Chain A
């Protein structure tokens, strides 16, 4: 049975730093020993708006990376795009402010036991969790290639120290303002062939994940992706963030992306359902 991440803790975490990077904000929180329990792909749920806020729901953010320095020095970092009222509030908070935070939540990327050739694909700020994953893979002796895409150069998140952890980095933008003009899926097949990729890890908007999965499926390559669904609670009680997933028993179920995800096998998602309940889903008879 699916259960909440056993390491999840709710704490008041102080913001240590908040810096604007391109179109995004890079925010660092002091989280103590939580940092040592975070795995690439896990997310954090943060309450926004302060006391007496009219925003009643928590916001979920992919964790960019953590720095494990024990109970006093542990830090957790996220990359935030200020587009809604909650994320805009968070990006306006200064160092010293404490926020209510729950981490780590959700599933993490599966790490192969053998050194494999991995391709990491990120859309927009969805690239953030891939850099931590890249570090872990590299430490396991894996070769890591990366493709990042966005609508425009400002929306590519690729910090210098992150770039160092990958063997090659390909950037695509839809307006051609940096890198190749087009979408990440335009370049996948060639990179997969050239570098003899064994597994793809991806993070970004659902449309992009679906397109990546199509390529991976056609070429018979394993694909793990971190899905994005609107969440109300982030801890598994509200049942809003569900999506249709086929289990190993062949049964489709509406599973919570906060508990059974965000990282799922690309082939297990019923992408064509497009927010409907597919026929034959458990509980539709």
Chain B
């Protein structure tokens, strides 16, 4: 029987198909279309300390094979999230990865303290790379020092064995440098990649199409960037687990990220086009792996890095 198991920083998951933070809410809507326990894990929308209205509209523009969004982390804040969403997800029996985002290093520390004793969470994604903030200086993952500070704050406060997955942006000169920094600061794994900063100008109104002017580009348009980032980081740090994401719309795409070095794959924008995309991709990925002669997912992780040149 095919072994679909994977692990992210010492935690095992039954299969490698996760949702991507910000693309599945807290699971309630997608549960109308499939059983959440079928996912390797649900990664919840990045939650902040306080309730947040998000940015003005329009927040979205479709682009060739992708979309721009500038939601701006709209959400209920950590306290309501822990009161309403986590108990509900636990009731469903879902594997939960909680994604957090902060405006300051202290925010990350407080969020980690609030989560440290919460039962039923498999891992923590620390989103230090959301592009939809007013000040680009707030994108912690753009600088090694701020990236390190945010991850250290979580490491110091989370305690125990909950793995920390640092979510990084490819919008940097060297993603390997940032990845190395956050791993040395205590990240157990990496989520690669967040959206890529972009812009669309409406040629009728002759103004930026998004109210927030810039937005995060996602969808198949950015997949080669994800593959490159995952490949580079895997090459530099072959023992660090990577949760890969960026434009995965089919089993073939998920396979590509796994070959580059991802231990698990998150489905993001594809869910907007098809709420049951994760289930379809999971089936297709297994077929893809089997047809290429793999007996387990594990054998395929990073397979594109092999040096023997042998063909399967």
Contacts and interface: CB of A to CB of B under 8 A. Distances in A.
A8 B53 CA distance: 27
B60 A230 contact: yes
B270 A102 contact: no
Interface of A: 1, 3-4, 6, 8, 10, 47, 54-58, 100, 102, 229-230, 232-233, 235-243, 253-254, 259, 275-277, 281-285
Nearest to B210: A240
Contacts, number: 119
Contact of B276 (A1, A10, A54, A241): A10
B60 A237 contact: no
A130 to B, nearest CB: 25
Contacts of B272: 56-58, 232-233, 237-238
Report the contact-size class of chain B (Cβ under 8 Å from the partner). Answer: 35 or more
B53 A277 contact: yes
B56 A235 contact: no
Contacts of A241: 57
Interface of B: 22-25, 28-30, 32-33, 45, 50-60, 62, 64-67, 69, 71, 74-77, 84, 211, 219-220, 249, 269-276
Contacts of A238: 23, 60, 69, 71, 272
Given A237-B30, A239-B54, A10 B275 contact: yes
B57 A229 contact: yes
Given A239-B59, A254-B54, 15 more contacts: A8-B32, A10-B275, A233-B273, A236-B25, A236-B28, A239-B22, A239-B45, A239-B54, A243-B57, A259-B29, A277-B53, A277-B55, A283-B50, A283-B74, A283-B75
B283 to A, nearest CB: 15
Contact of B62 (A1, A55, A100, A242): A55
B176 to A, nearest CB: 29
B235 to A, nearest CB: 30
Nearest to A5: B32
Contact of A235 (B22, B32, B45, B51): B32
Say whether chain B's binding surface is mostly helix, strand, loop, or mixed.
loop
A277 B56 contact: yes
Contacts of A230: 57-58, 60
Contacts of A100: 274
B196 to A, nearest CB: 15
A59 to B, nearest CB: 10
A248 B135 CA distance: 35
Contact of B29 (A232, A236, A243, A281): A236
B269 to A, nearest CB: 6
B74 A242 contact: yes
Contact of B271 (A54, A229, A233, A240): A233
A207 B65 CA distance: 31
A6 B28 CA distance: 11
Given A232-B67, A283-B50, A240 B273 contact: no
A10 B52 CA distance: 31
Contact of A283 (B30, B33, B52, B57): B52
A56 B269 contact: yes
Contacts of A283: 50-54, 74-77
B271 A239 contact: no
17 contacts: A54-B64, A56-B62, A56-B66, A56-B269, A56-B270, A57-B273, A232-B67, A237-B29, A237-B30, A238-B69, A239-B59, A240-B60, A242-B59, A259-B29, A275-B211, A277-B54, A283-B76
